[in-house]
Amino acid sequence: MQAPQTTSLDPQSPEEWAALRQQAHGMLDDILDYVQALGQGPVWTSAPSEVREQFFKGMPQDGSSLEVTHAAFKRDIMPYAIGNAHPGFMGWVQGGGTPAGLVAEMLAAGLNANVGGRDQMPVEVERQITRWMADLFKFPASASGLFVTGTSLANLIAVWVAKNKALGHETRRRGLRDEQVQLVAYTSAGAHACVKKAMDLAGIGTQYLRVIAMNERYEIDCAALRQQIQQDRAQGLSPFFLAGTAGTVDVGAIDDLNQLADIAQEQNLWFHIDGAFGALAVLAPQIAPRLAGIERADSIAFDFHKWLQVQYDAGFILVRDAQLHYDSFAAAAGYLRREHRGMAANSPWPCDFGPDLSRGFRALKTWFTIQVYGAKRLGGVIQQTCDLAQYLRSKIELHPELELMAPVSLNIVCFRYRSSQADQADVLTARLVVALQESGIAAPSTNVLPQGLAIRAAIVNHRTNANNIDALVEATLRFGKEISVELGL
Ligand SMILES: *Cc1c(COP(=O)(O)O)cnc(C)c1O
């Protein structure tokens, strides 16, 4: 047979390589310009229909060029991102990303490592971060860890490992239907919705997640928790899993982690902590004492892409008992055979600790972020966002038109513009938040609290400063007044 004619997708001559370099350098400069100018434009702009229409075109059979495609990115995509990198962004809980993370992503893309396993240094980077996290949370050095998309998946992994511990690993083969016991899990009404989703995805069913009431500080009510566990045991059910929250998504409350650890110990429950953003507050010396008890957890889920400012996505699960973690996911396959030498050495592999086989090099942008800025400075950013939240609280308390709606525990402030008619309060709040977002001045989101709908400002981004808080308050007062008039209040 004649040798086949092939071409790669790389440039084919030194001249083509030179042109690529020039274009690529220009693209890097452009995105750095964008980052440098963040805060000058609006937080967010909704894409007009002409732009959206571009994305209904069919798949191109013939390519154009990097230059043309980059121009389309600049025209149709870049101006219409959600704006979480912008200092005025305060919606949900989202990190801002950093210049170091930006270039690290570029390096990771060049390497194109598949960090499912094998004998390669990218795996060691992930292991080093696991050891750093074990140390940070005072877990044993033998603890296991894994990068995942985000805390949603990390929480699912925790439920999965806890389920296998409770039922024995034979349950992986047997399936839940043939189990003699009915597992029950516990969390608070302030827990993130993904805890419920995890119970669904794990096949246990959301009806077996007991959602325990909160106290006036929005922390789980431990007395009610104990009572519910007793009641479930009396009915012959098998409590197995307790998820505390360090930094609730609604108001930023931290459950009493030591008390939860005591209950978990007494009741023989897996003690998991959803610390999606809050766990890494252990890096801020003034906040860290409030997380006491976190070191007693069986597993902690958290995101580097929130308070640590690492580029999306970079979630993490830390598990105290690495053997249990491994036994919950490891699966033998002929083509994944391990060796003591050669590329298939270095077992166990990251793929043995989670559902994914092929995995990107999320650890690199996290490693760069921690190497470049250091734990102290990153902890300082966490502290400064909490200081800004207190500054916002103080401004709200100064203005009689504004009403604080929940205690400000960390970096989340829930408030509203007062309505003269109680039944119009939520309409006013909803319209006010849309007006703020559409103005591009500041972008909070909303939250449903017992008293009603709140404007919820979560200060996560390292770029946010006091001017952004002033602008938010000023715009809230202005739009609040305008919308009140429109509503006849
Ligand atoms: C953001 C968040 C989650 C979900 O994390 P993802 O990274 O978005 O999957 C879970 N719990 C809490 C408390 C959160 O703030």
Cβ of 188 below 6 Å from ligand 1? no
Q: Which atom of ligand 1 is nearest to the CA of 247?
A: 13
Of 383, 325, 341, 411, the closest CA to residue 94 belongs to 411
Of 141, 137, 142, the closest CA to residue 293 belongs to 137
Cβ of 93 below 6 Å from ligand 1? yes
Query: 410 alpha carbon to ligand 1 midpoint, in Å?
Result: 16
Which residue's alpha carbon is at the smallest distance from atom 2 of ligand 1? 276
Q: Which of 149, 274, 385 for mutating ligand 1's site (highest number of atoms within 8 Å of CB)?
A: 274
pTM of the model: 0.97
Q: Which atom of ligand 1 is nearest to the CA of 154?
A: 9
Residues 6+ apart with CB under 8 A from 299: 157, 158, 161, 162, 270, 271, 272, 273, 317, 318, 319, 320
Cβ of 250 below 6 Å from ligand 1? no
- What is the tens place of the pLDDT at every residue in 190-246? 999 999 999 999 999 999 999 999 999 999 999 999 999 999 999 999 999 999 999
Which residue's alpha carbon is at the smallest distance from atom 5 of ligand 1? 151
- What is the tens place of the pLDDT at every residue in 260-303? 999 999 999 999 999 999 999 999 999 999 999 999 999 999 99
Q: Which atom of ligand 1 is nearest to the CA of 277?
A: 15
Structure-token pair, residue 37: 């100018």
SS3 273: strand
Q: How far apart are CA 101 and CA 312, in angstroms?
A: 10
pLDDT above 90 (res 156): yes
Query: 91 alpha carbon to ligand 1 midpoint, in Å?
Result: 13
Q: In the structure, what pLDDT confidence band is assigned to residue 332 with cuts at 50, 70 and 90?
A: confident
Q: How distant, in Å, are the alpha carbons of 87, 225, 330 from that of 353? A: 36, 31, 7
Q: Which domains does the chain have, with CATH numbers?
A: 114-360 (3.40.640.10), 375-487 (3.90.1150.170)
Query: 249 alpha carbon to ligand 1 midpoint, in Å?
Result: 7
Cβ of 276 below 6 Å from ligand 1? yes
Q: How far apart are CA 88 and CA 91, in angstroms?
A: 9
